[in-house]
Amino acid sequence: MSAAPSSLERAAARNLVKSYLRVKPDENVIVEAWAHTLSMSSAIVDEVRRVGGRAFLAYEDEDAWWRAIERKQAKALGRLSDPEWAAIAAADVYVQFWGPADSARLQKLPEKTVYEDWGDGWFDRWYKLARSTGLRGDRVATGWVTDSRVRHWGESKQRWTKALLEACLADPEESAASGRRLARALTGRKTVRVTHANGTDLEVALAGVPARVYDGRPHPNNAAYSEFDMLGSFPDGRLRVALDGKTAEGRIVSNRSSYDELWYPWARYSGGVFEFSGGQLTSFSFEHGEAEFARKYARGTAGKDRTGSLCIGLNARLRNVPYLETQERGSFQLAVGRNAFLGGDNASDFNGSLCVAGSEISVDGTPVVRAGKIL
């Protein structure tokens, strides 16, 4: 039996239901849970009912999931039942938690098992159906807090959970307003420079495409976002924009961790430095994770050595929370490689990044962020 939701989980669930998803009376809401997310899932179901919505809790059992994997039946996991497809077709809102909980074991599975056998069975059909019905929803980050990831990243589970839930209390409109202000400052401009006392001094060029503001609210059937953005992230708070990979000079030194941009992160990098010259990444180094980064970089396709995108954090309720570092208000993330998903022209299969918080960011010489404050 799962533990009863904490007061902080209930507050976060209320904010999700009322401010982010804006669930209306009589709307159908699916909450997809795993065992390690049941207390937060329970809180969300309660809040959906509080506002008059109709909640359906779908539970994925960890033991049964792994038994299918052991029998080499990953494809069966991707074949959703007819009743489940019918429920998705009838739903107005969808809340998803990350799982399974044994993230260390998941990391050891072959990519084919995870992405082809399991993922291909439902992915395209699911999103096509969601687009056709106008489904909106959020993926809830508390599913990332697993015992195996806590051990792997050397975190305190209690501190991580508390900090993450407090970030869930952020006002999405406050993040959106800051994002709109930054987006206006970037529109029609050419260069962005980021500096920090830790040795960061980097100038990059904008690709000339509109910035996207992610405040945690979903964007179903919105041409300004991607075809998958009917599902937002909770919490969130970021501005992202594609860069022109032909221009980059200087260096960026991280003071926050960075991760592979995957659906369920495992590798973690810290103490990173990127050096650029003539628009090209000329060197990289890390205090922790360099061998793993170098291995993936070596396998990357053309464009991996060019700037791809930048991200500026907008969430005022968090500071240095694992895997949410790019949401920290005023933080700056620089990514190399793929940016086609943001409207850029870099189609590399590689994406790697560094994040620095507390920097000064200027656009064509005009400061827009100073010491974490959005001006």
The whole model's pTM is what? 0.95
pLDDT of residue 225: 94
Convert the pLDDT of each residue in 189-216 to its tens digit.
899 999 999 999 999 999 999 999 999 9
For tokens 């609210």, what's the residue? Answer: 217
7-167: which CATH topology?
Answer: Thermophilic metalloprotease-like (3.40.1830)
pLDDT of residue 2: 61
Convert the pLDDT of each residue in 35-46 to its tens digit.
999 999 999 999
pLDDT of residue 244: 96
Q: Give me the residues of the chain with pLDDT under 70, please.
A: 1-2
For residues 262 and 254, is the Cβ–Cβ distance under 8 A? no
CA distance 220 to 213: 14
The structural domains of the chain, with segments of one domain joined by +, span 7-167, 172-217+236-374
pLDDT of residue 372: 84
Tell me how crowded residue 72 is: count the other CB atoms within 10 A of its CB. Answer: 10
CA distance 194 to 216: 25
Residue 203, CA atoms < 13 Å, CB-side half-sphere: 9
